[in-house]
Amino acid sequence: MYLTIQDVKKSYGENGSYIQVLKGISTSVEKGQMCVIQGTSGSGKSTLLNCIGGLDTMDSGSVKVEGKEIFGLKPMALSEYRRENLGFVFQFYNLVPNLTVRENIQICQHIAEDPLDLDELLDTLGLTEHQNKFPSQLSGGQQQRCAIARALIKNPKLLLCDEPTGALDSKTSRDILVLLEKINAKYNTTMLIVTHNNSIKNMVHKVILLKDGVIRKDYENEVRTPAAELEDL
């Protein structure tokens, strides 16, 4: 199993402000799967993603990626884990405004040990003609494509997406999901996608439904709907 999560617990605050966000999460994801983590606001889905990504520390439990334990790693080892294994895509694109599309992507290319071919990636994501533009000259969908390219150039084994279509209209959301589907098929990239959108669960291999810090449902789709055919995005 590529990703194994066992009894992960996470809380914030203390005394009167104490709240337990994750109350013992256990699940697993196979290599090359697209997995949706779904739930309402406050269900713990982004916290779980951040624990897997080493952006947040767990109180207890275990997260293993390819058998390597993440819990308890020191800051330098966590940084190495993120650099070698992970790509991050967020709802808000976090692009450097005074750098071009190509230069934004090159930021992560320079720290990768085995990066993808930049020109091939630009072509795959439909960014070749926009590569010398600045973020302010791009549409929201184009900025998200650039953010995805920046995450992918590292050739990550695991792509963590936190509401990747949350700031986009329905047509652009569908385009981004079609793109993620294409990337998964081409590079066999394992993906975890946090979303509020109920339709996205139909296109992925695996669905994890969180509520109040626990898993309410955890299942794999026997039949998947192509992203281009999803409704109500």
pLDDT value at 195 more than 80: yes
The Cα 96–Cα 106 span in angstroms is 11
SS3 214: strand
Place of tokens 């695996």: 206
Contact 52, 6 (CB under 8 A): no
The Cα 67–Cα 82 span in angstroms is 15
Place of tokens 């256990």: 26
More confident call, 67 vs 91: 67
Place of tokens 């808000």: 92
DSSP conformation class of 115: P
Place of tokens 């792509």: 159
Alpha-carbon radius of gyration of the chain: 17
Q: Name residue 12's amino acid.
A: Y
pTM of the predicted protein model: 0.91
The Cα 167–Cα 173 span in angstroms is 9
For residue range 12-66, list pLDDT tens digits in order.
988 778 899 999 999 999 999 999 999 988 899 999 999 999 999 999 999 999 9
**DSSP string of 144-159, one letter each residue:** HHHHHHHHHTT--SEE
Looking at the domain that runs over 3-223, which CATH code has it been given? 3.40.50.300
For residue range 162-191, list pLDDT tens digits in order.
988 887 888 888 988 998 999 899 889 999
Boundaries of every domain in the chain:
3-223
Residue 112: per-residue pLDDT: 83
The Cα 21–Cα 143 span in angstroms is 31
The whole-chain average pLDDT of the chain stands at 92
Which of 111, 84, 193 is CA-nearest to residue 148?
A: 193
Which of 128, 123, 156, 161 is CA-nearest to residue 144?
A: 161
**Biggest CA-to-CA distance, the chain:** 55
Residue 171: per-residue pLDDT: 87
Residue 64: per-residue pLDDT: 96
Place of tokens 């799967």: 33
SS3 179: helix
pLDDT value at 92 more than 90: no
DSSP conformation class of 116: P
Residue 111: per-residue pLDDT: 85
Q: What is the mean pLDDT of residues 205-225?
A: 95
